A and B are shown apart, each in its own frame.
Chain A
């Protein structure tokens, strides 16, 4: 392997990895907050992609400008999913784990079905003439960096910094941490745990919404688009440690690098092998994930 190829693998892996991390972090955040695995996480991402597509086609803005819109829309989707579905599933008297799984899984099926109905299963792309970054690549010393991934990775880094500041520096962040420690005790200091859960779901969905908005710039859009990404997100969360924000970041980057490496040395059909090999390897040595506290 030449140094050139090595650098290319690291660059491609890092860029995609940061985007994978952003896809996964909302899932981890919600799990950490209330021990619920959101099986509709990928569908949230797909909705964000359509939100960007819609904004570009209908309003005629660049997908970059549509990002805040998608993020806001997904906040509403996440909060509504909690208030409308998850909250009720949590009140189950028996088999609460199963009820939660089926509730979010059912939500996923519903969102996919409705999307198929409304948007059809056609593959769509953000129109190239309105896509400033689309298809552009820059070259740095022989290493090729696709501009959408480069900007997307930068946005992901900013999102992680923002999330870190939110968690460590604000009262809401402290309320989130307290709720994940002991949701039954936050009422003792006057915090409404349902409000924290609602905002937590909104925040988790916004983060995957931002990731979906980034993907929409360079990836095709259709109702089943999220399935492989969701799978990668579950692997990332398990690898980083369930509930760990920092773990999602590190694991996302590792997954991106593993994928880039396998894509280079193995035939394209086996491109995901590296991810799962990495996953099995780490979980074999450290079952709770890299930064998990389970």
Chain B
């Protein structure tokens, strides 16, 4: 198991946002996390990434316990995280944002190599290298955020609603990229509200409701689930 989350609970000033969540991600999988607004999806990713502290529970990555570690060490351990609001460095160039992604590496080859993969994934970024990140369109910013995360050469990539606020045409491009990223050997844990689209590319999924896992199974099982069909797919 690449990532093992057990009984994870996180609260904001007493308000419990996720409540005893357990979740597994095997190497090579795409795992989707879905759920309504406020269900706790982002909190789950933030806690794994070290941006929020858990109250209890464990997170094991590649056999090593990482809960409670600061975010930069979790990145170093091999988990890259693209938060909801992307958190690019807005006034730095696209090139600098990408370069910062490979900050942890010293050798020139180590730093340049992932760049080729990134440009293959999102060719339009290569045309915009000298531009400030803040001048990119929403979709391009998402591409840059994913690319910056890939520059850290992660074993697990965590994406929080990559389709949010993006033109429909670019959404497809991003979902295609997620498939390509997995093909290239990086495991993906993806939070999405667009259930049918994400389950089309995911192997397995979890549905959260008010901070708990209510449904889990293969992508097909979740799609077939009556509650899911009623609540999310309107059928």
Contacts and interface: CB of A to CB of B under 8 A. Distances in A.
Interface of A is mostly: helix
Nearest to B134: A181
Contacts of A191: 72, 100, 103
Interface string A204-248: 000000000000000000000000000000000000000000000
Interface stretch (A10-18, A151-159, A170-178): A170-178
Interface string B65-97: 000001110111000111100011111100010
B92 A175 contact: no
Range for the number of chain B residues in contact with chain A:
20 to 34
Contacts of A177: 89, 92, 96
B135 to A, nearest CB: 14
A187 B96 contact: no
A188 B75 contact: yes
Contacts of A190: 72, 75-76, 103-104, 152
B89 A181 contact: yes
B42 to A, nearest CB: 14
Contacts of B92: 174, 177-178, 181
Contacts, number: 65
Nearest to B102: A189
A191 B102 CA distance: 10
Interface residues of A, number: 17
A189 B101 contact: yes
Interface of A: 171, 174-175, 177-178, 181-182, 184-193
Interface of B: 50-51, 70-72, 74-76, 80-83, 87-92, 96, 99-101, 103-104, 148-149, 151-152
29 contacts: A174-B96, A175-B100, A178-B92, A178-B96, A178-B100, A181-B89, A181-B90, A181-B91, A181-B92, A182-B87, A182-B89, A182-B90, A184-B87, A185-B89, A186-B72, A186-B100, A187-B50, A187-B71, A187-B75, A188-B71, A188-B75, A188-B80, A188-B81, A189-B75, A189-B103, A189-B104, A190-B75, A192-B72, A193-B72
